[in-house]
């Protein structure tokens, strides 16, 4: 392969940069275009919480986190999964460690040093960067069109990798505008939806005024089995907001909750407010005489106070407070009705995107030979915990290799 071959990568996030690195390592001349003033903006923001790079669990459960798209992503993750990603970071001088939750972080818990080292290595490999260039599609000759600082520009390439992100965090560049451009070319795209997002509950005014921003922990939650949940409670914590719920435990259930809302108009989130207490023991405690003690004091003795007490008052049937057995059942399986997701721009990530069915095994669009897709713009989703970034890296590398295969056939 010689520098006579030129590839354009559109999108300067992890998927695009990994595709660029893969192509440049094979001797292809690579130009990266991004609409923002610098690359990796969303990556840097994600790193403010410590940059959860990947996850240390075994491969089989790791792949299962991608649910309906596990089959499509498995080959990419086999080639470039958690261990390979850690080795790659080591090559940039970034050591990583596995935390108590099996999440993997850089030793310094920062994203900026990794990104700076990566961009430096890419430039040394000959990759050229064109920032503040928004891709607007193709012209009549098939050239790529961009709106740049100096006005419209047309660019030709032997291969193109699109790594345009999802539809959340618009201010960081992921605005989903590319969906209309590809749809106009007949590309089948699953509608972008919020993923790892918060939900609205329709709290009463007193609940809105008193509980916004407060954490609920420890607690366990599930989606009601009748609405597609698997019946298994997950333990963790979440946050009450003025309009509903958000946080890590909610994000882990967000796909199921969202689909329940899509199908039924609402979702039933079931909470176990005392996951460490058995139902029969709780019933016995609640049935004990409380004398002149108030119900609030009685619940406090059983471990229910603060935001948990507020949730119980908000969501349990009023009659339950007159029946210890009913009250215990409500505490162990409290039904919270969710009516809508928070806006897509608030979501950590998005579901939907270019369907794998319109791509070949190289991640090339069958209707647009020489055009490859990678990253969050593909139709997959995963929970937080390092799975999102890992699949972005892996699919970017896969698209880069796919483009190399394509270029080899065009020599």
**What is the reported pTM?**
0.93
CB of 339 within 8 A of CB of 202? yes
Q: What is the pLDDT of residue 4?
A: 65
Q: How many helices and strands in the chain, by DSSP H and E?
A: 15, 20
Residues 260, 120: Cα–Cα separation, whole Å: 45
Q: Token pair of 78, please? A: 């086999």
Among candidates 202, 110, 165, 171, which has minimal Cα distance to 346?
A: 171
Rounded to the nearest 5°, which phi and psi values hold at 78? -65, -35
Residue 388 CA to residue 42 CA, distance in Å, equals 12
Round to whole Å and give the CA distance between 334 and 271. 5
Mean pLDDT of 71-97: 97
Are 257 and 223 in contact, with CB atoms under 8 Å apart? Answer: yes
In angstroms, rounded to a whole number, what is the distance separating the alpha carbons of residues 242 and 213?
7
According to DSSP, the residues that pair with 216 across neighbouring strands are 238
DSSP-based three-state secondary structure for 346: helix
pLDDT in tens, 142-180: 999 999 999 999 999 999 999 999 999 888 888 999 999
Strand partners, 372: 161, 364
CB 271 within 8 A of CB 311: yes
* 253 φ/ψ angles, rounded to the nearest 5 degrees: -105, 5
Residues 208-247: tens digit of each pLDDT:
887 778 999 999 999 999 998 888 999 999 999 999 999 9
Distance (Å, whole) CA 61 – CA 76: 15
Residue 192 pLDDT more than 60? yes
Q: How many CA atoms lie within 13 A of 32 on its CB side?
A: 32
All domains of the chain in start order, with CATH = 6-195+350-409 (3.50.50.60), 199-341 (no CATH)
pLDDT digits (tens, 9 = 90+) for 269-304: 999 999 999 999 999 999 998 888 899 999 999 999
Name which of 92, 50, 43, 45 is nearest 388 in CA terms: 43
């Amino acid at each position: 392969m010689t520098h006579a071959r030129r590839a354009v990568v559109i999108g300067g996030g992890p998927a695009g940069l990994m595709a660029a690195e893969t192509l440049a390592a094979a001797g292809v001349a690579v130009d990266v275009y991004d609409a923002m003033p610098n690359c990796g903006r969303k990556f840097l923001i994600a790193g403010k919480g410590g940059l959860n790079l990947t996850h240390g669990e075994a491969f089989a459960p790791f792949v299962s986190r991608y649910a309906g798209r596990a089959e499509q992503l498995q080959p990419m993750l086999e080639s470039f999964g958690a261990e390979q990603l850690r080795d790659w970071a080591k090559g940039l001088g970034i050591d990583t460690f596995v935390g108590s939750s099996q999440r993997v972080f850089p030793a310094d818990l920062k994203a900026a040093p990794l990104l700076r080292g990566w961009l430096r290595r890419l430039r040394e490999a000959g990759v050229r960067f064109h920032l503040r260039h928004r891709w607007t599609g193709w012209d009549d000759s098939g050239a790529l069109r961009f709106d740049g600082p100096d006005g419209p520009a047309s660019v030709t390439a032997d291969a193109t990798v699109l790594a345009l992100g999802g539809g959340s965090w618009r201010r960081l560049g992921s605005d989903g505008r590319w969906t209309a451009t590809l749809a106009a070319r007949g590309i089948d795209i699953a509608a972008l939806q919020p993923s790892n997002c918060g939900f609205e509950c329709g709290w009463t005014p007193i609940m809105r005024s008193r509980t916004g921003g407060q954490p609920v922990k420890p607690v366990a939650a599930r989606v009601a089995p009748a609405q597609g949940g698997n019946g298994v409670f997950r333990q963790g914590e979440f946050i009450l907001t003025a309009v509903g719920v958000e946080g890590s435990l909610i994000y882990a259930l967000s796909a199921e909750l969202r689909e329940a809302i899509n199908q039924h108009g609402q979702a039933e989130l079931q909470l176990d407010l005392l996951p460490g207490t058995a139902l029969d023991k709780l019933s016995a405690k609640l049935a004990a005489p409380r004398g002149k003690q108030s119900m609030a004091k009685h619940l406090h003795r059983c471990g229910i106070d603060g935001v948990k007490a507020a949730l119980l008052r908000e969501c349990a049937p009023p009659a339950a407070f007159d029946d210890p057995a009913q009250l215990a059942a409500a505490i162990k399986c409290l039904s919270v009705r969710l009516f809508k997701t928070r806006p897509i721009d608030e979501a950590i990530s998005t579901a939907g995107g270019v369907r794998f069915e319109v791509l070949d095994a190289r991640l090339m669009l069958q209707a647009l030979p020489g055009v490859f897709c990678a990253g969050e713009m593909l139709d997959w989703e995963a929970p937080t915990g390092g799975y999102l970034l890992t699949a972005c890296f892996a699919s970017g590398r896969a698209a880069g290799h796919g483009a190399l295969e394509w270029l080899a056939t065009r020599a």
